[in-house]
Structure 1
Amino acid sequence: MILTVTLNPSLDRTIEIAELTRGTVIRAGAARLDPGGKGVNVSRALLANDVPTCAVVPYGGDEGRRLVELLSDEGIDMIMVPVSGATRSNITLAEPDGTVTKINEPGTPLTPAELETLAAAVLDAAGAADWVVASGSLPPGVPTDIYARLCRRFAKAGIRTAVDTSGPALVAALAAGPALVKPNREELATAAGVPVTTLGDAIDAARKLRAMGARTVLASLGADGAVLVEGEAEERVWYGTAEVAEPRSTVGAGDAMLAGFLAAGARGRDALAEGLAWAAAAVAQPGSRMPRPHDIRRDTVRFPPPDPDLPLRSGG
């Protein structure tokens, strides 16, 4: 079982448009409302592929109640923690070529007591868990070392933790020695403190994150694929790609990658291949819909020789 904790969940409204032009009236095409937040999306992807999961989610206000309804409708096993503030709402504008513009609200602050309730809920539920996924942005006012503190608490309980966050929260978490981190290209560059413009840069930056404390680094590179750097006594580096014929939305693709990687055992080329296949399938879905088994095309995954001079096209 894979347990996820999302400190800053959301309602995600995705609107498909022909083209984003500032200062004009834009006619919307299809629209959909999905439960959001990185950990929530990981659980949604796992459930869609019959992998046992449970999501620990704070919720508040009318938006929070709607979030709970949507998750219940999808059949997600949840531990819901009521909080005093209102759950945030996000808007995504998706264009036909796969370009995505996101407007994310900051979220609601969590009190120290609410954070402790969330942590205790994870520890209570984690006895049967293979992994705890701690992911997403932090609500305003939440200490940047919160994921680091959670990692240390979970490690003492013998629980492996995967962290997917950004900025100072990711840097702080590295010092706690998480079993896995999953940055995108921008997050990788920021945490490592180096520019990442080529595949070689990405591999070197992933190695730096391992030197900072992470045992395994799974770095998503958007349309350029992903890099996996792992190993204890002997380091192993894997690089793979997956083609998407008709991209619709990149929202949640990184979360689907992490879900597929964990579902496949979180180690080696086969797990990376599964993560890439799930991510590619997510990009072909509308909004933040997670792929189901019939959407996943493993035959699109490739493992080309990792050319260190290969220029990277996208942020991941």
Structure 2
Amino acid sequence: MIYTVTFNPSLDYIVEVKDFKQGVVNRTNDEHIFPGGKGINVSIVLKNLGFDSVALGFTAGFTGIEIEEKVKAHGCNTDFIRLESGLSRINVKLKSNEESEINGQGPSISKESLDKLMVKLEALTEEDILVLAGSIPTSLPEDIYENILKRLADKNIRVVVDATKDLLLNVLKYHPFLIKPNNHELGEMFGVTLKTNEEIITYAKKLKDMGARNVLISMAGDGAILLTEDGREYFSKVPKGTVVNSVGAGDSMVAGFIAGFLESNELEKAFKMGVATGSASAFSEELAKKDDVLRLLATI
């Protein structure tokens, strides 16, 4: 089974205002509410591609109930831990002449609640895949990802990590199966600005040297690069299409990679599937659907 962890899920309230003006009443032209969070996005796209997963994490209050209901409505399995107080966050995304976001803080997660999650994770076996994705709330220790991989180190679980800076760097010694920074995040880890594919590959190799088995670098409209554990390097341009909404495209790439690998057991095919799936989400208002993914896959 595939398990995804979203520590701080959200309701994403996306509103479109034709000509937003500060200091006055504005009315929306369009609005949508989606369940948000990188792990949740991975679970939803996996389901769209025909793969079951279990979405783990923490929810609180009436917003947490709505998050769970919306995730289930996508056909996903959930096993969230309910917190006794607080509210799961609402993230407001305003689309107008410019795009703006206001992200909520989310509830406080106690040690007792975190221990409940650890019990669930320690039940995983080598037959499972674990996806750790996204930022963590301030109530959790900064080394939480590292602690999880340390406790699971002897289980031979294939772990996928999509995180930034120290959250990612500190887990490399536990040899995650796949990591997926984007090119900007990769540069931030080493304090450099990366401008060419050669520079990106050079620094991606450093992540491999530090322990990552496979390194997938997303580069938005410039494509993607994969460095594999057996020393191969792949580059792909993105398929032709119009970017409608880039939110969730990176998470979709992760889901597509996992789906492609499970279908073929081949990293090259997984890479192509990842690129097609990320692109399908970017070219749509919603997360990638299987028919769109397969159509784009044929062009890669």
TM-score, normalised relative to structure 2: 0.90
State which of 171, 174, 179 in structure 1 corresponds to 2:172. Answer: 174
Mapped to 2, the partners of 1:37 and 1:247 lie a distance apart of 20
Which residue of the partner structure matches residue 269 of structure 2? 270
Q: Please tell me the residue identity of whatever aligns with 1:180.
A: L
Which residue of the partner structure matches residue 122 of structure 1? 121
Which residue of the partner structure matches residue 53 of structure 1? 53
State which of 150, 153, 170 in structure 2 corresponds to 1:152. Answer: 150
State whether structure 2 residue 244 is matched by structure 1 residue 245.
no
Distance apart, 1:207 and its partner CA: 0.8
| Structure 1 pair 6–220 and aligned structure 2 pair: CA distance change class (3 A) | same
* Higher RCO (CA 8 Å, separation ≥ 6 residues): 1
Which residue of the partner structure matches residue 41 of structure 1? 41
Structure 2 counterpart SS, 1:175: helix
State whether structure 2 residue 260 is matched by structure 1 residue 259.
no
Distance apart, 1:244 and its partner CA: 4.5
Q: Please tell me the residue identity of whatever aligns with 1:78.
A: T
Alpha-carbon RMSD across the aligned residues, in angstroms, is: 2.2
State which of 194, 213, 237 in structure 1 corresponds to 2:211. Answer: 213
Using the aligned pairs only, state the percent identity: 33
Mapped to 2, the partners of 1:117 and 1:56 lie a distance apart of 11
Structure 2 counterpart SS, 1:86: coil
Mapped to 1, the partners of 2:39 and 2:249 lie a distance apart of 12
Tell me how many residue pairs correspond in the alignment.
Answer: 295
Distance apart, 1:299 and its partner CA: 4.7
| Structure 1 pair 118–29 and aligned structure 2 pair: CA distance change class (3 A) | same
Mapped to 2, the partners of 1:230 and 1:53 lie a distance apart of 24
Which residue of the partner structure matches residue 197 of structure 2? 199
Any conservation in 2 of the 1:149–1:176 contact (CA below 8 Å)?
no
Which residue of the partner structure matches residue 130 of structure 2? 132
Q: Please tell me the residue identity of whatever aligns with 1:132.
A: L
For structure 1, the 5+ residue unaligned runs are 303-316
Any conservation in 2 of the 1:6–1:56 contact (CA below 8 Å)?
yes
Which residue of the partner structure matches residue 282 of structure 1? 281
Which residue of the partner structure matches residue 77 of structure 1? 77
Which residue of the partner structure matches residue 64 of structure 2? 64
Mapped to 2, the partners of 1:273 and 1:104 lie a distance apart of 32
Any conservation in 2 of the 1:247–1:283 contact (CA below 8 Å)?
yes
| Structure 1 pair 70–269 and aligned structure 2 pair: CA distance change class (3 A) | same
Deviations 1:211-270 (Å, cap 9, x if unpaired)? 2221111111111111111124xx111111223422211110000000000111175321
Structure 2 counterpart SS, 1:156: helix
| Structure 1 pair 198–18 and aligned structure 2 pair: CA distance change class (3 A) | farther
For structure 2, the 5+ residue unaligned runs are none
Distance apart, 1:272 and its partner CA: 1.0
Any conservation in 2 of the 1:273–1:301 contact (CA below 8 Å)?
no
Which residue of the partner structure matches residue 5 of structure 1? 5
Any conservation in 2 of the 1:39–1:135 contact (CA below 8 Å)?
yes
Any conservation in 2 of the 1:249–1:285 contact (CA below 8 Å)?
yes
Q: Which moved more, 1:162-171 or 1:87-96?
A: 87-96
Mapped to 1, the partners of 2:299 and 2:21 lie a distance apart of 35
Which residue of the partner structure matches residue 181 of structure 2? 183
Mapped to 2, the partners of 1:9 and 1:36 lie a distance apart of 6
Structure 1 counterpart SS, 2:198: helix
Q: Please tell me the residue identity of whatever aligns with 1:36.
A: G
Mapped to 1, the partners of 2:46 and 2:122 lie a distance apart of 20
Any conservation in 2 of the 1:58–1:80 contact (CA below 8 Å)?
yes
TM-score, normalised relative to structure 1: 0.86
Q: Which moved more, 1:253-262 or 1:238-247?
A: 238-247
Any conservation in 1 of the 2:4–2:131 contact (CA below 8 Å)?
yes
Q: Please tell me the residue identity of whatever aligns with 1:220.
A: S
